Amino acid sequence: MDEDISIINANTRNEKIKNFFITNKKRLILAIILISISLIGYFSFGEYKNNQKIKMSDDFNSIIINYSEDNKEQTARDLIKLINKKDSTYSPLSLYFIIDNKLIDEKNKINELFDVIIDEISLDDEIRNLNIYKKALYNANNSNEVELLNILNPIIRSTSIWKAHALYLMAEYFYSKNEMQKSKEFFTQIINLNEANQEIKLESQKRLSRDLSE
């Protein structure tokens, strides 16, 4: 008896499953198609991004290899195109090459390119802070106190590994302007940082004891 009931229950379950698939056949087929399309799209996009990265690498290397004093303007134009592609690796490298080789003289243009990298590219926080610091370094000799602080404030107000570097830059900036009290304040902030770069901390201690002691 129990065996008969079990057989009936099994047959009932099988019939329900069969009816479910018959009733929802179109929906199930559509779901399978959508999942397949999504998977194909995902892997195709990944392959596309990988191919784009390889092409950008090839373009960057080609530009650098072919650079000479005779084609500075063309090199600058080509590197600006790479910067505007907003790649997390080759856009910053392109800007560094422009600056290191003095391919562009206009300060405003360089700052615009820095802003593309800092504000428009998805970067790791510390890589972004590094580029903020590099922008400040680039501007340090030709900016006033307010301009330089505006650039560096995102780092100074953070717990970034670049905070000590930013404070040191401001301390040396004020020292070069003979504003000793302000310089001392920034050097002191470095000394009081728990996670400050040890080399920068040591240099700050030397500066305080040697040049800024009362």
Summarised one tens digit per residue, pLDDT across range 106-157 is 999 999 999 999 999 999 999 999 999 999 999 998 889 999 999 999 999 9
**Amino acid identity at 9:** N
Residue 172 lies in a domain: yes
DSSP 158: S
Q: Phi and psi at residue 102, in whole multiples of 5°?
A: 55, 50
Residue at 101 is within a domain: no
Would you place residue 17 in the very low, low, confident or very high pLDDT band (cuts 50, 70, 90)?
Answer: low
Q: Return the pLDDT at 43.
A: 47
Q: Residue 36 has what pLDDT?
A: 57
Confidence of residue 24 (pLDDT cuts 50, 70, 90): low
Residue 40, pLDDT score: 58
Tell me: the pLDDT tens digits for 171-214?
999 999 999 999 999 999 999 988 778 899 888 888 888 877 66
Please state, in angstroms and rounded to a whole number, the distance separating the CA atoms of residues 79 and 149: 29
User: Average pLDDT for residues 6-10, to the nearest whole number?
Assistant: 52
Q: What is the pLDDT of residues 27-76, one digit of tens each?
A: 656 556 656 565 555 545 455 456 667 888 888 899 999 999 889 999 99
Cα–Cα distance for residue pair 8/6, rounded to 1 Å: 5
* Domain annotation covers residue 5: no
Domain count, the chain: 1
| Predicted local confidence at residue 4, as pLDDT | 47
Token match 């615009």: residue?
112
**Which string of DSSP letters, residue by residue, matches 67-107?**
--GGGHHHHHHHHHHHHTTT-TTHHHHHHHHHHHTT----H
Per-residue pLDDT, 138: 96
Q: Is residue 29 part of a domain?
A: no
Q: Which residue has the higher pLDDT, 173 or 14?
A: 173
Taking alpha carbons only, the member of 209, 210, 148 closest to residue 174 is 148
CA angle 137, 141, 146 (to 5 degrees): 80
Q: What whole-number distance in Å separates Cα of residue 171 and Cα of residue 211?
A: 12
Q: Note whether residue 195 is domain-resident.
A: yes
**AA identity, residue 166:** A
What is the domain extent for residue 152?
A: 132-214
18 lies in a domain? no
Residue 197 lies in a domain: yes
Q: Is residue 191 part of a domain?
A: yes
